Amino acid sequence: MARERLTAGLDIGTTKTCAILAEHRTHGKLQVLAAGVCPSRGLKRGVVVSLEETSASIQTAIEQCERLSGHRIGSAVVSIAGSHVESQNTRGVTTLANNGQDLTAADLQKALDSARAVALPPNREIIHVVPRSFVLDGQDGIKNPIGMSGQRLEAETHVITGAVGSIQNLIKAVQRTGLEIDDLVLQPLASSEAVVTIEERELGCVLVDIGGGTTDIALFLDGSVWHTAVIPVGGANVTNDIAICLRIPLHRAEELKIAYGHTDPASVIELPPVDVPTFERNQVQQVPRDYLAQIIQARMEEILGMVASELHRSGYGGLLGAGIVLTGGVAEQSGIRELAESILDLPVRIGQPQGVERLDDRLAGPAFATATGLLLWAQRNGAVSRAPAGNGFRLGAAAGKAGRWLRAFLP
């Protein structure tokens, strides 16, 4: 019998860790076999602050996924985020010595290697070099120059970097569990695989992934990513605000937000109040629904205002014909789409993960966009989960990463 081809993803978020395993079907689709989900520990705003706690959360999620699927997971594509992530657009140039011969993938790789040679401080490292388009002898807008003829090839790329310490601590936390890393993928790029369509990328859109600890942004134009950013606020800030304002435990605040939260106080003003347990044993307080909505609305207006500022700073905010794709756990909050439209002054849709076959309906929500996207990214780049034990992962071995991006970028 042919060996099963499995793909695994590991989404390490501030509030939850999700390990997900899928099988490659003969018709080309991925069939999700199982997912293990547990609360995250040891992370703050997407960055590891405790190796032991983070590793324990990863181990719990992996073991749960293995138990449910009946398969051992030896390697996975892993998400990365955090306020330390930065990006810039660069251009690499190579002179072709082919004397009229057709351009090859090796020529494209030389141009990408040139684009990667950006001056970085010693405490920063490249995570991704994403090809956007190519310029051949002055002709721009070329998506795939392979087979064409020319003398000078330029590669327009989007380079994403991160703090060396934060990257290495995430790698250590994963490897402490015995899991190998097939690749690190920036969270908004992973999420976009599952929720952003080809048409939206071409017309111009922004993915806004509001998670527990960070709000991740990826802006697309002409089919490629042009800008990425990570804002260090998210749904956990909303929960914290509720806990402080109502003087209740954090876990009660989270339950209250999920069960009764809304971003429009006027729409819930006539609904009955909610009984909420306090810190005192056997004591409850009545919380008006509109007051709870006021707390949530204030923080969400701040987060969406920061998104608007980031879009303005990018310089591309006026080119977004397809508007905003909102995803992440906070996208499930009642009234969030209408609030986002009013603040960002763009059409907004909620991004539900697509592109895989699911056995579990809970994976259909925006909170699992990154986990689903990791599977699709791995499929597009040819990553297959290996059996346990191997040689580990080093981000500095980046030539292979650039090659995988190149394969994914070209038709």
Output the 3-class SS for 101-139.
CCCCHHHHHHHHHHHHCCCCCCCEEEEEEEEEEEEECCE
pLDDT confidence of 166, banded at 50, 70, 90? very high
Res. 275: pLDDT tops 60:
yes
Average pLDDT over residues 276-280: 83
> What is residue 25's predicted lDDT score, i.e. its pLDDT?
85
* Residue 360 or 335, more confident: 335
Residues 411 and 157: their CA atoms lie apart, in Å, by 17
Res. 26: pLDDT tops 90:
no
Average pLDDT over residues 59-88: 94
* Range with top average pLDDT, 80-84, 113-117, 301-305, 353-357: 301-305
Residues of the chain with CATH 3.30.1490.110: 86-161+398-409
> What is residue 1's predicted lDDT score, i.e. its pLDDT?
34
Res. 400: pLDDT tops 50:
no
Instruction: Find tokens 């260090």 and name the residue.
Output: 232
Res. 398: pLDDT tops 50:
no
Res. 326: pLDDT tops 60:
yes
The 10 Å CB-count burial string (b at 16+, else e) for 53-79 is: ebbbbbbbbbebbbebbebebbbbbbb
pLDDT confidence of 104, banded at 50, 70, 90? confident
pTM: 0.89
Of 355, 352, 362, which Cα lies nearest the Cα of 327?
Answer: 352
Q: What are the pLDDT digits (tens) for 338-348?
A: 999 999 999 99
pLDDT confidence of 397, banded at 50, 70, 90? very low
Res. 395: pLDDT tops 90:
no
* Residue 362 or 241, more confident: 241
Residues of the chain with CATH 3.30.420.40: 235-296
pLDDT confidence of 372, banded at 50, 70, 90? very high
Average pLDDT score, the chain? 89
Options 3.30.420.40, 3.40.1170.10, 3.40.50.10360, 3.30.499.10; CATH of 235-296: 3.30.420.40
- What are phi and psi for residue 339, nearest 5 degrees? -65, -40
Spell out the alpha helix ranges (H) of 13-104: 51-69
> What is residue 388's predicted lDDT score, i.e. its pLDDT?
58
pLDDT confidence of 383, banded at 50, 70, 90? low
The answer to whether the beta carbons of residues 204 and 221 sit under 8 Å apart is yes
pLDDT confidence of 257, banded at 50, 70, 90? very high
Residues 409 and 405: their CA atoms lie apart, in Å, by 6
> What is residue 143's predicted lDDT score, i.e. its pLDDT?
86
Of 208, 57, 224, which Cα lies nearest the Cα of 128?
Answer: 224
Options 3.10.450.50, 3.10.580.10, 2.40.70.10, 3.30.1490.110; CATH of 86-161+398-409: 3.30.1490.110
